[in-house]
Structure 1
Protein backbone atom coordinates (compact mmCIF):
# COMPACT_ATOMS: atom_id res chain seq x y z
CA UNK A 1 0.00 0.00 0.00
CA UNK A 2 2.90 2.37 0.72
CA UNK A 3 4.04 2.01 -2.89
CA UNK A 4 0.75 3.41 -4.20
CA UNK A 5 0.76 6.62 -2.15
CA UNK A 6 3.12 8.58 -4.48
CA UNK A 7 1.07 7.58 -7.53
CA UNK A 8 -2.16 8.58 -5.81
CA UNK A 9 -0.65 11.95 -4.81
CA UNK A 10 0.63 12.68 -8.33
CA UNK A 11 -2.67 11.54 -9.85
CA UNK A 12 -4.55 13.81 -7.47
CA UNK A 13 -2.38 16.79 -8.40
CA UNK A 14 -2.91 16.13 -12.10
CA UNK A 15 -6.65 15.85 -11.53
CA UNK A 16 -6.74 19.16 -9.64
CA UNK A 17 -4.78 20.83 -12.45
CA UNK A 18 -7.08 19.49 -15.18
CA UNK A 19 -10.23 20.42 -13.28
CA UNK A 20 -9.02 23.95 -12.50
CA UNK A 21 -7.99 24.45 -16.14
CA UNK A 22 -11.38 23.27 -17.41
CA UNK A 23 -13.31 25.40 -14.93
CA UNK A 24 -11.19 28.44 -15.77
CA UNK A 25 -11.97 28.04 -19.48
CA UNK A 26 -15.70 27.89 -18.74
CA UNK A 27 -15.70 31.03 -16.58
CA UNK A 28 -16.97 34.06 -18.53
CA UNK A 29 -15.05 37.33 -18.62
CA UNK A 30 -16.55 39.92 -16.24
CA UNK A 31 -18.59 42.62 -17.99
CA UNK A 32 -16.54 45.51 -16.59
CA UNK A 33 -13.37 43.99 -18.10
CA UNK A 34 -14.85 43.89 -21.60
CA UNK A 35 -15.09 47.70 -21.67
CA UNK A 36 -11.40 48.11 -20.88
CA UNK A 37 -10.04 45.76 -23.55
CA UNK A 38 -9.64 48.44 -26.23
CA UNK A 39 -8.02 50.96 -23.89
CA UNK A 40 -5.65 48.35 -22.45
CA UNK A 41 -4.52 46.98 -25.82
CA UNK A 42 -0.78 46.46 -25.87
CA UNK A 43 1.16 48.78 -28.15
CA UNK A 44 4.62 48.27 -26.69
CA UNK A 45 5.58 44.92 -28.23
CA UNK A 46 6.39 44.02 -31.83
CA UNK A 47 4.31 40.83 -31.93
CA UNK A 48 1.87 41.63 -34.72
CA UNK A 49 0.27 38.18 -34.54
CA UNK A 50 -1.03 38.94 -31.03
CA UNK A 51 -4.79 39.39 -30.76
CA UNK A 52 -4.39 42.26 -28.29
CA UNK A 53 -1.92 44.27 -30.37
CA UNK A 54 -3.42 47.75 -30.59
CA UNK A 55 -2.06 49.00 -33.90
CA UNK A 56 -3.38 51.99 -35.74
Structure 2
Protein backbone atom coordinates (compact mmCIF):
# COMPACT_ATOMS: atom_id res chain seq x y z
CA UNK A 1 0.00 0.00 0.00
CA UNK A 2 1.46 3.33 -1.08
CA UNK A 3 0.81 6.35 1.10
CA UNK A 4 0.76 9.74 -0.59
CA UNK A 5 2.25 12.43 1.61
CA UNK A 6 1.44 15.27 -0.77
CA UNK A 7 -0.69 15.82 -3.88
CA UNK A 8 2.29 16.85 -6.02
CA UNK A 9 4.45 13.93 -7.08
CA UNK A 10 7.75 15.84 -6.86
CA UNK A 11 7.18 16.85 -3.24
CA UNK A 12 6.04 13.33 -2.40
CA UNK A 13 9.23 11.93 -3.95
CA UNK A 14 11.47 14.36 -2.05
CA UNK A 15 9.74 13.53 1.24
CA UNK A 16 10.15 9.79 0.65
CA UNK A 17 13.80 10.24 -0.31
CA UNK A 18 14.48 12.34 2.80
CA UNK A 19 12.83 9.79 5.09
CA UNK A 20 14.80 6.97 3.48
CA UNK A 21 18.10 8.82 3.93
CA UNK A 22 17.32 9.62 7.57
CA UNK A 23 16.42 6.00 8.34
CA UNK A 24 19.29 4.34 6.44
CA UNK A 25 22.19 6.69 7.31
CA UNK A 26 22.91 5.27 10.81
CA UNK A 27 22.90 1.73 9.42
CA UNK A 28 25.44 2.64 6.73
CA UNK A 29 27.58 4.60 9.21
CA UNK A 30 27.85 1.81 11.79
CA UNK A 31 28.26 -0.89 9.12
CA UNK A 32 31.18 0.98 7.55
CA UNK A 33 32.71 1.51 11.00
CA UNK A 34 32.62 -2.26 11.55
CA UNK A 35 34.22 -2.90 8.14
CA UNK A 36 37.09 -0.52 8.90
CA UNK A 37 37.78 -2.28 12.21
CA UNK A 38 38.00 -5.73 10.60
CA UNK A 39 41.51 -7.15 10.15
CA UNK A 40 42.83 -9.87 7.85
CA UNK A 41 42.74 -12.50 10.57
CA UNK A 42 39.06 -11.74 11.15
CA UNK A 43 38.37 -12.53 7.50
CA UNK A 44 40.25 -15.85 7.76
CA UNK A 45 38.38 -16.80 10.94
CA UNK A 46 35.03 -16.02 9.34
CA UNK A 47 35.85 -18.11 6.24
CA UNK A 48 36.87 -21.06 8.44
CA UNK A 49 33.69 -20.69 10.50
CA UNK A 50 31.45 -20.52 7.41
CA UNK A 51 33.12 -23.58 5.87
CA UNK A 52 32.92 -25.55 9.14
CA UNK A 53 29.25 -24.74 9.64
CA UNK A 54 28.53 -25.51 5.99
CA UNK A 55 30.13 -28.96 6.18
CA UNK A 56 28.60 -29.83 9.54
CA UNK A 57 25.11 -29.11 8.21
CA UNK A 58 25.36 -31.51 5.26
TM-score (normalizing by structure 2): 0.38
TM-score (normalizing by structure 1): 0.39
More helix by share: 2
